[in-house]
Structure 1
Amino acid sequence: MKLGKKWFTSLVLTVGIGLVVSACGTSGGQQSSVGGAAGQGASDKVYVVGTDAAYPPFQMMEADKISGHDIDVMNAIAEAAGIKIEWKNTGWDPLFDGLDKGTVDIGISSITITEKRKEKYDFSEPYFEANQLILVAEDSPVNKLADLQGKKIGVQSATTGEEVVKKAFGDTYEGIKGYDDMPSAVDDFFNGRVDAVVADNGVLQYYAKKMTGKKYKLIKDDSFEKEFYGIMLKKGNTELLNKINQGLKTIKDNGKLQEIYKQYFGQQ
């Protein structure tokens, strides 16, 4: 989830997609037109939604506009809930800092709901179910996470992928290599700098569709626990949280959430 120009340059050369990512930590306001009849006559407050637009297909910069699965989900929720939102490309760490300081009202950026995070923040009901996958060479003998013992493993820092690897091999495991963003980790894998990458299924499956001509395989370790993404708010903002949950329930019930999922992942 953080920014990486290098990988996108490589990706453009290899698969010809036109993604342009803003520099790490920069902010890009993007007004959303959502906020339908349910919000008319109510508060004119515009809620700032922070994200890290460097985690395709969930969040990305496309033609100087923030787009992706999570962006479509949040826009649909806001429309269903009748609230007005404005997008801000905060970056990963500044997203949490923004919630702490009140410069960001809502955070959505493939954020896994964890007990540790729930101590400090409130979360909506889950909107996406995820699990970790392992990216390795096509001819690799690796069949599970334990087989990576002694190998160089790329992860995005401060993500559940990093937690999974550290849990398996220890916090001081010398083979782990943390990256500010997932694109850079994948780039290093294809350039032979790491032997494997551990990351969320949605992201690696997205890359798999784009990496034509590259030889690799994706492995699911049954020991990996399921994860759930949620929309994050500063603790105590109960009124806004209730509105978001109601909007989320609406798009689950009317099929909009599933429609967005199929648009990006092409399956149920």
Structure 2
Amino acid sequence: MKQTRRTLLAGMLLSVFALAGCGQKAEKAAEAPASAPAASASAKVPEYTVGTDASYAPFEFQNDQKQIVGFDIDVLTAAAAKGGFKVKFVNTPWEGIFAGLQQGDRDILASAITITEERKQSMDFSDPYFEARQLIAVAKGVTGVKTFQDLKNKKVAVQTGTTGDEVVQKLLGKTSPNIKRFENMPLALKELQTGGVDAAVGDNGVVINYVKNNPQDGITSVEDTASFAPEFYGFPIRKGNKEVQTKVNAGLAAIKADGTYDQIFKKYFGTK
């Protein structure tokens, strides 16, 4: 009888321990789903490398701390926050900026780039985010420039490979010695300031910004809406990368809808 009772008691204890163990496992199993949201919340946000020629104020330039800042930078950064991605800006010379995109070194470009049919053959674009026109900057003391056609017998500075370069080529000829090309627009405008050319042609935002911040140079601007059609800036994206294009467009739509875009525009250009 004692042996039987001991056997029964041992069996009961084993059952209790077994149930306790099963209970702990059940509790752990029940806890597992609770940890799933934490893993989801910590999912890595994609970061895209953005090429920008930071010498084109006020769209992209370096401040006194050598940080890349500007209108394009603020717009794309705000769009990224709404579109669910991050951006890393890399200063990239204009001459190699498109090659870097096509080779995969850059995912996006943010450099006041006009959407053209020719460019769309080798890259995709975001929706437009800025409307621009070409503007003529005229050196101090130069007279008789009221329209684009008045530049026919003038020396004109442009930034290589830009739409300003293209329109001046159509007026003066592709190989005209009167066209002086520069790596960036500030250098072209500096040539104008020192008297090396009579005029410069570039995007209105850049020319207006330069004239406004350098009144001592005596440079004036001439607008000819009849000769220069509106242009639209977009963010180039590597050809076929629909995922990035969709995210950028979603972010742009969001900042236009909630007023963020207008605030950024006002910061750099005043009232829209």
For Structure 1 versus Structure 2, the TM-score category normalised by the shorter chain is 0.7 to 0.9
Q: Cα deviations across residues 135-154 of structure 1 (Å, max 9, x unaligned)?
A: 11355111111111121100
The answer to whether 1:141 aligns with 2:144 is yes
Percent of matched pairs sharing the same residue = 46
Cross-structure match for 2:23: none
* C-alpha distance in 1 between matches for 2:87 and 2:222: 38
- What are the equivalent positions in structure 2 for 1:57-136 lying under 5 Å apart? 57-62=58-63, 63-136=65-138
Structure 1, unmatched stretches of 5+, are 1-38
Relative to the length of structure 2, the TM-score reads: 0.81
Q: Cα deviations across residues 145-192 of structure 1 (Å, max 9, x unaligned)?
A: 111112110000000000010112221222111001111111111111
Shift of residue 217 of structure 1? 1.7
Shift of residue 41 of structure 1? 5.0
The answer to whether 1:150 aligns with 2:153 is yes
Residues 45/144 of structure 1: CA separation in 2 closer, same or farther (3 Å cut) = same
The answer to which of 82-91 and 177-186 deviates more is 82-91
Cα RMSD of the aligned pairs, angstroms, is: 1.4
Q: Cα deviations across residues 214-250 of structure 1 (Å, max 9, x unaligned)?
A: 3232111121011000000111101110111010001
* C-alpha distance in 2 between matches for 1:164 and 1:225: 10
* C-alpha distance in 1 between matches for 2:237 and 2:178: 35
Cross-structure match for 2:170: 167
Q: Which has the higher helix share?
A: 2
SS in 2 for 1:95: helix
Tell me the amino acid that sits aligned with residue 89 of structure 2. Answer: W
Cross-structure match for 2:234: 230
Tell me the amino acid that sits aligned with residue 93 of structure 2. Answer: G
The answer to which of 138-147 and 41-50 deviates more is 41-50
Alignment check: 8 A CA contact 2:61 2:70 kept? yes
Cross-structure match for 1:184: 187
User: How many residues get paired?
Assistant: 230
Shift of residue 43 of structure 1? 4.5
The answer to whether 1:250 aligns with 2:251 is no
SS in 1 for 2:55: coil
* C-alpha distance in 2 between matches for 1:120 and 1:164: 21
Relative to the length of structure 1, the TM-score reads: 0.82
Runs of 4+ in structure 1 deviating by more than 6 angstroms, as ranges, are: none
